[in-house]
A and B are shown apart, each in its own frame.
Chain A
């Protein structure tokens, strides 16, 4: 297969991916109070990665992002479960969340919630599973 010279695509990708990633992070962190959250955030990150895979070939991306996405999915699930298990240490039922407000050095008064940990698990699981699926199928030639 001859390799077309898609320099414009590469250039646009290089600009677009950080923007998408930034938007994804925004979606993820705003999830607590605004539309968004772990699931959609994770999907958006996965779509950024997919764009990378589309623009460059799989090996190049693999060389730069040395992550096994199956492991990512597993870590995500594990994190979600451990968040649930964590509540046992405080004599609370499984998956009880708590939250409070802290004065952090840079951010000022900030709300920190254990639900975010759970959400991170969800996001990682979503990223891992969707990228694994897409990669497995596209590698199947």
Chain B
């Protein structure tokens, strides 16, 4: 166990303690204060790794878990993992601090809350620090499950349960697809270790499973990161408590997919499929999210769609940057690698400003009782701190100076502009689409940022519509968003500190081709001069302001798109149809009639056995070894046939019973003819007993509806019964015709020497194969006890 292992396990272990702490200290001390220690310690100890990672070192430890299967709990930390680790623990610390003031210690079941939160934190750390793909998958699913639990934290509400179920279905679907992809990769490379896979990129690229593995892994990443069209779970996940929305659904969990894409870029990157899938899906998501965010009236829904949009942006950049791997190390690669850099940079920026925005929205919700934009307004004077924080957050999101969003947005534009100049992957045809769509999406981003800011804080204050009189939040609640907002500004002014210590190592982790040359020198500066990117930003501000002012006029366009054609409606429709269909399907064949089930069983028997006999050419007719048929045998068989037909056509049940008896006695006649005296004796007695029991049953049939009609004719039954008869006959004849081995009966002829018995049958029954007999008398015993208990213990029916 290394310290890295302990770090991952620590939240899990602490989660075990939380219920006890809650039990003993509530309501004196808020449970959150104890939990607060965990992410803080983790964050501080992760900071310690920064210098070493920045020097290009990596940390790597292994603990055997299932060594015989090659599954080891191997942790691995490089620049990429470190960034995510810092985000998870850092924002985790702030979120826990915020939740201490947000979640009431009197009304809420905090033990559940913090247990789920710690589970999530541990799982997330596991995802980013794990080297073994199967262990990675385990942690991945744990994030899905803990997120499910957190979304449905207020499980009394229907919408929470709906949102939790939806996110569960979608993310687990993707997770399972990802598992399949991982298994394919490990089949190709014969290892579960990511680092060993990186060494076999050539093998993977050449393999026929390359594309399926890539698509399946991407499915996992896209569902988790709410990419189009799997984004629908994210807005519904807003039913979770706001600290959770801030933590999971803006800063960490939704970035697990980003992490996965970045992590697998060394393997899959540099291929046209990877490039196109990721960058086009990212671009679509960017546009889809930003357009939808504008029409939301709920603040959290607006932020959810903006998260989707920003995740699309990061995804798109990762896709564009993967082109660098196509070129190998060189000047051209450096140009595209800037996109990767922009992706990681924006990832950090997004976590800071989106986290703070969610927290502010939580404060507004907490202090006014609503998140509806239409009810809010004029809060600027009442809540000055929240207003300031919102300005910082939303301007950063819109990409304005002097906030960090400006820098990463400029880098994003650089990325898409460079991509439009690309002449590989048929980009010279579609290249111009990238900057165009990116620019349009950014205009919408600007608009919803302004909506978020001005509709909430400007305008008229409407106290009648609010549940509570609005006032500023307590200090403890604003500490976390203040820290995040100051980071937003600090990163703008000192971006190169970040780039040197965090971005460069991460870049090397994503694009290992730069590792040999010691990385590329990254200089992020706020001022590039009058270049295209700046003009694009100016255009966004201009058009965005114009469109925001005339929002009322043109937003009616949204009404033109019918609610029936949204992705959500599609999801609901599909779920409902699937349920209906499966219910209808089950009702169709599970009729409850044993007769039908017997038909299924026999039909399957006919089809399977008949089909395999046909396919494998198993039908054989060879009568050369058969004994001649004697007159007696013929006579008995004719009698049996007559008796059998009588059973079928009998008008009364009594006739059928007697005919069955006749059949049984004729069978014992056959035994006599075929020289099986023991069988004949037994058959005689058993047949007598059976017929007597049948008669008993017949006698006890209820009086009402006593039918003495002949069995009704049904064509299916006829076909099925003839089919079964034919199949069984064919099997018997074919088996008889193809004797592969000598029978073993000659051995039993030694029964006198071996068992001292002249009666072979009895010797076999009690000596050679005595266990069968023993178990058969068990069967008899159980049957008679069953009869006894059925009759004697009729507790329910007794009157």
Contacts and interface: CB of A to CB of B under 8 A. Distances in A.
B362 to A, nearest CB: 72
Contact of B756 (A113, A126, A140): A113
B777 A97 contact: no
Interface in B97-122: none
B677 interface: yes
A52 to B, nearest CB: 16
A132 B774 CA distance: 19
A31 interface: yes
B678 A73 contact: no
17 contacts: A27-B681, A34-B758, A37-B678, A37-B761, A37-B762, A40-B682, A76-B777, A84-B774, A95-B770, A95-B771, A97-B766, A100-B756, A129-B784, A132-B788, A133-B783, A133-B787, A136-B791
Given A97-B755, A118-B766, A132-B784, A126 B696 contact: no
B173 interface: no
Contacts of A66: none
Interface residues of A, number: 45
B682 A39 contact: yes
B773 interface: yes
Contact of A70 (B755, B777, B785): B785
B788 A136 contact: yes
A130 B781 CA distance: 9
A109 B681 CA distance: 29
Contacts of A95: 770-771, 774
B788 A70 contact: yes
A32 B770 contact: no
B686 interface: yes
Interface in B743-777: 755-759, 761-763, 765-767, 770-771, 773-774, 777
B695 to A, nearest CB: 11
Contacts of B581: none
Interface in B677-709: 677-678, 681-682, 685-686, 689, 693, 696
A103 to B, nearest CB: 16
Contacts of A99: 755-757
B685 A77 contact: no
A137 B778 CA distance: 20
Given A32-B762, A43-B685, A136-B791, A81 B781 contact: no
B338 to A, nearest CB: 78
A137 B697 CA distance: 10
A126 B780 CA distance: 7
B792 interface: yes
Contact of B783 (A35, A118, A129): A129
Closest 9 CB pairs of A and B: A99-B756, A35-B677, A129-B784, A33-B758, A125-B777, A37-B762, A129-B780, A95-B770, A132-B784
Nearest to A94: B771
B757 A121 contact: no
A126 B681 CA distance: 15
Contacts of A80: 773-774, 777
Interface string B575-590: 0000000000000000
B235 to A, nearest CB: 67
A100 B756 CA distance: 8
Nearest to B686: A43
Contacts of B696: 137
A69 to B, nearest CB: 9
A23 B696 CA distance: 28
A35 B756 contact: no
Nearest to A124: B777
B762 A36 contact: yes
Contact of A44 (B685, B766, B787): B685
Contacts of A97: 755, 766-767, 770
A13 interface: no
Nearest to B683: A40
Interface string A76-100: 1100110010000000001101011
Contacts of B685: 40, 43-44, 47
Contacts of B681: 27, 35-36, 40
Contacts of B785: 70, 73, 132
B678 A36 contact: yes
Interface string A15-40: 00000000000010001111111111
Given A40-B685, A94-B771, A31 B762 contact: yes
Nearest to B700: A140
Given A37-B762, A113-B757, A118-B770, A136 B787 contact: yes
Given A31-B762, A115-B763, 8 more contacts: A35-B677, A38-B765, A84-B770, A118-B766, A130-B689, A132-B784, A133-B787, A136-B787
Contacts of B780: 73, 125-126, 129
Residue from A27, A40, A128 with most neighbouring chain B CB atoms (10 Å) = A40
B309 to A, nearest CB: 73
A85 to B, nearest CB: 11
Contacts of B693: 137
Contacts of B761: 35, 37
A122 B756 contact: no
A137 B693 CA distance: 9
Nearest to B682: A40
A51 interface: no
Contacts of A126: 777, 780
Interface in B141-198: none
Interface string A102-141: 0000000001010100110110011011101100110110
Nearest to B770: A95
B306 to A, nearest CB: 74
Residue from B677, B686, B755, B767 with most neighbouring chain A CB atoms (10 Å) = B767
A113 B759 CA distance: 14
B366 to A, nearest CB: 73
B766 A35 contact: no
B784 A133 contact: yes
A74 interface: yes
Interface string B784-799: 1101100110000000
A128 to B, nearest CB: 7
Contacts of B784: 70, 73, 128-130, 132-133, 136
B759 A137 contact: no
B678 A38 contact: no
A121 B696 CA distance: 29
A128 B757 contact: no
Nearest to B778: A77
Contacts of B686: 43
Nearest to A39: B682
B682 to A, nearest CB: 5
B141 to A, nearest CB: 47
B777 to A, nearest CB: 4
A97 B767 CA distance: 6
A99 B757 CA distance: 9
Contact of B757 (A33, A77, A130): A33
Contacts of B792: 136
A39 to B, nearest CB: 6
A73 B696 CA distance: 23
A20 B748 CA distance: 32
Interface string B328-354: 000000000000000000000000000
Contacts of A111: 756
Interface in B431-465: none
